[in-house]
Chains A and B, each alone.
Chain A
Amino acid sequence: MSLANYVLRRVVVTIPVLLGVTAITFSLLHVAPGDPIDVVTGFQNVDDDVEASLRAEYGLDRPVWEQYLVWVADVLTLEFGESPVTGRDVGATIAERLPYTLLLGGSAWLLSLLIGIPAGVVAAVKRGEPADEVSRIAALAGIATPNFWLGLVLLLVFGVHLGWFRVIPPDAPLLSLEMLWFMLLPTITLGTASAALVMRLLRSSMLRELNEGYVRTARAKGLRERTVIWKHVLRNSLIAVVTVAGLQITLLVDGAVVVEQVFSWPGMGRLLVDAIGRRDFPVVQASVLLIGVTVVVANLLVDITYSYLDPRIRYDR
């Protein structure tokens, strides 16, 4: 089977999963304590008439399955309705916040690969030597440090004491130099643990692969050691790492919730936390849905990368 066929099949299989995500997201709020009407009415006792008309307005009087279908139909057209708390369009609110999270998460992810992969390769090749020991200790520290603490320390040292960074984001467009400079600390905060994980994982899978027969064949052919490692061994070792790197995307979303608070970063994480606090159901629903979809898409990308790296996978079944 060609790679294109494989990708197509994976995409098709993803559709029911996405439907499942919408169903779970939708039902979450219906099993969660608290009635949306209370929020609208500001937790005051109101007339039954008023309440009934409010319910009708938000469609809360209709059967659950009908509410679900209406909601899915809206979601498919990217219509998330209006927040009963702020009165603003939910889609617009998210569109405002999403780029911040994507940029921060994306750069943290990139950082984790840019540091984790070379460090993992070096640690495996220099096994038992000082470089390996140093990276092992660094990785342990990286994994063990809670990211909110790391963020606070970085802010304190480089923001408050040294004054190299602002403590809150500058009032500048997202893609301005100022903003990107500010983003450095949150990126490090968010990317450190992932980098450490990728590094350790790659190291152990490289050590396994280095014992494989094809490595000896590659050397016996007279290839440069560089080619043996970076072409032959790395590609096989990455197969194990891709799964984790993909799942890291999910972790980065989680981490963003905390890190965005620490750095006052106006992304999805803070939006979600605020919305939960205010019982802003449509916003919570849309945010959770988005996170769910991100996870599904990340998994899809993992599968595709996986099959690109390892041709044997494409031929299964």
Chain B
Amino acid sequence: MALLEVEDLVVQFYTEDGTVRAVDGISYEIDRGETVALVGESGAGKSVTCLSLLRLLERPGEIVSGEIRFDGRDVLGLSDEELRDLRGNEIAMVFQDPSAALNPVYTVGEQIAEAIRAHEDVTDETARRRAIDLLERVEIPDAASRYSEYPHEFSGGMQQRVVIAMALSCEPDLLVCDEPTTALDVTIEAGILELLEDLAAEFDTAIQLVSHDLGVVAGLCDRVQVMYAGEIVERAPTEELYYDPKHPYTVGLMASIPRIGDDRDELPTIPGSMPDLVDVPTGCRFHPRCPYAEEACRLRAPSLVDVETGVPADEPAPNDHLAACHEYTDDLVDGLDYEVVVEDGGGLE
């Protein structure tokens, strides 16, 4: 049994323009200690998926159907008290913008200690000492004195370290990181990612890392799941996805990553934009933007199948390579036609 199992999750937002299906029947699982990436363009439903895991969605959003099981327990059926016990203690979250994620009027130390006190029966002094310890673990110099400083006295990178310390305070089994470096300077990004990697290994924590940047994912994750318009369109072990992407959308995403030694002036982007989730295209959601779209793509939605056998995998193994494209069920007349060029060190055009 996997640590986290998500099955047919559907999330809707009820807006004035209509019902937005932000997540439309996704299924995946994460094993203990595994690091899984969720990538895709803005609006694909990555953040909504993350929030669903902790039932943190607010009006007008709602989990309509599906199941989320954590460690065998039905998350959607938990009582308020059980949910509180899960949050922060077993599944913790790191958010995109650390300056918004921290409360400006409490010291960073208090905000970490508070998380410890919420789950463990400890004295204030113990919580304080453990918070200082955590600040040291996330490599904040002078941790004891910075404990009583306020978030605005920290730089963005240091703030995110505080948020990570907070998330790790109760040694969760799963750490959900929603674009943890997007709001930060690129020079700081590497340090934060490295820290996450080290700490995850040290605490044996599984990570779900959200990013719209495949480059960030490459170094950190065992597996990648690509999301498009509320669905998972491809999943594969990281290396395989990089060298052998199977879905045209993934190919487009890869082509738009800048790489070292890249001398293109302008990176190609996928033409068009993500569909309006109130009124999604018929058939394959990607077909209006897909250079290989055919009649079949307009008519029928492809299912997520094993790229070798063309058979939907009910319980995919971590190493399986799945994609949602008619190509793999032999329903395309012309087929896909792109070339993956691997340069030294692994590049792709």
Q: Which residues of A contact B (CB under 8 A)?
A: 212-214, 216-225, 227, 232, 235-236, 239, 309-312, 315
**Given contacts A216-B51, A220-B56, A311-B152, could you give 15 more A-B pairs where the C-beta distance is less than 8 Å?**
A212-B100, A213-B95, A214-B102, A217-B101, A217-B166, A218-B103, A219-B54, A220-B87, A220-B88, A221-B115, A222-B89, A227-B118, A232-B106, A312-B152, A315-B153
Contact A311 B89 (CB under 8 A): no
Contact B105 A235 (CB under 8 A): yes
Contact A217 B163 (CB under 8 A): yes
From residue 139 to 154 of chain B, which have CB atoms closer than 8 A to chain A? 150, 152-153
Number of interface residues of B (CB under 8 A): 30
From residue 118 to 146 of chain B, which have CB atoms closer than 8 A to chain A? 118-119
What's the nearest-Cβ distance from chain B to residue A225, in Å? Answer: 8
Contact B87 A213 (CB under 8 A): no
Contacts of A239 in B (CB 8 A): 105
Enumerate 9 A-B pairs (CB-CB under 8 Å) in ascending A order. Answer: A216-B95, A217-B103, A221-B88, A222-B84, A222-B86, A224-B118, A310-B104, A310-B105, A311-B150
Q: B42-83 vs A: 1/0 string, CB under 8 Å?
A: 000000000100101000000000000000000000001000
Contact A214 B84 (CB under 8 A): no
Contacts of A213 in B (CB 8 A): 95, 97, 100-101
- In the complex, which residue of chain B has the Cβ closest to the Cβ of A211? B58
Contacts of B93 in A (CB 8 A): 217, 220
The residue from A219, A222, A224, A312 contacting B104, defined by CB atoms under 8 A apart: A312
The residue from A222, A309, A315 contacting B152, defined by CB atoms under 8 A apart: A315
Contact B103 A214 (CB under 8 A): yes
In whole angstroms, what is the CA distance A220 to B174 when docked?
13
With known contacts A216-B95, A221-B88, A221-B115, A311–B102 Cβ distance under 8 A: no
B114 at the binding interface (Cβ < 8 Å): yes
Contacts of B119 in A (CB 8 A): 222
In whole angstroms, what is the CA distance A217 to B167 when docked?
9
Contacts of A224 in B (CB 8 A): 84, 118
In whole angstroms, what is the CA distance A315 to B114 when docked?
24
In whole angstroms, what is the CA distance A239 to B104 when docked?
12
Contacts of B54 in A (CB 8 A): 219-220
In whole angstroms, what is the CA distance A315 to B149 when docked?
12
In whole angstroms, what is the CA distance A225 to B56 when docked?
12
The residue from B104, B118, B152 contacting A223, defined by CB atoms under 8 A apart: B118
B92 at the binding interface (Cβ < 8 Å): yes
Contact A216 B105 (CB under 8 A): no
The residue from B80, B88, B104 contacting A214, defined by CB atoms under 8 A apart: B104
B308 at the binding interface (Cβ < 8 Å): no
What's the nearest-Cβ distance from chain A to residue B257, in Å? Answer: 28
Of all A-B residue pairs in the complex, the 9 with the closest CB atoms, nearest first, are A213-B100, A222-B88, A222-B87, A214-B103, A221-B88, A221-B115, A220-B93, A217-B101, A311-B150
In whole angstroms, what is the CA distance A222 to B56 when docked?
11
In whole angstroms, what is the CA distance A310 to B104 when docked?
8
What's the nearest-Cβ distance from chain B to residue A240, in Å? Answer: 13
Contact A221 B104 (CB under 8 A): no
Contacts of A310 in B (CB 8 A): 104-105
In whole angstroms, what is the CA distance A183 to B76 when docked?
54
Contacts of A312 in B (CB 8 A): 104, 150, 152
Contact B105 A221 (CB under 8 A): no
With known contacts A214-B100, A216-B56, A222–B115 Cβ distance under 8 A: yes
What's the nearest-Cβ distance from chain A to residue B210, in Å? Answer: 14
- In the complex, which residue of chain A has the Cβ closest to the Cβ of B176? A220
B85 at the binding interface (Cβ < 8 Å): yes
Contacts of A227 in B (CB 8 A): 118
Contacts of B97 in A (CB 8 A): 213
Contact A221 B114 (CB under 8 A): yes
In whole angstroms, what is the CA distance A225 to B86 when docked?
14
In whole angstroms, what is the CA distance A212 to B105 when docked?
13
In whole angstroms, what is the CA distance A311 to B109 when docked?
14
Contact B103 A232 (CB under 8 A): yes
Contact B87 A311 (CB under 8 A): no
In whole angstroms, what is the CA distance A309 to B100 when docked?
18
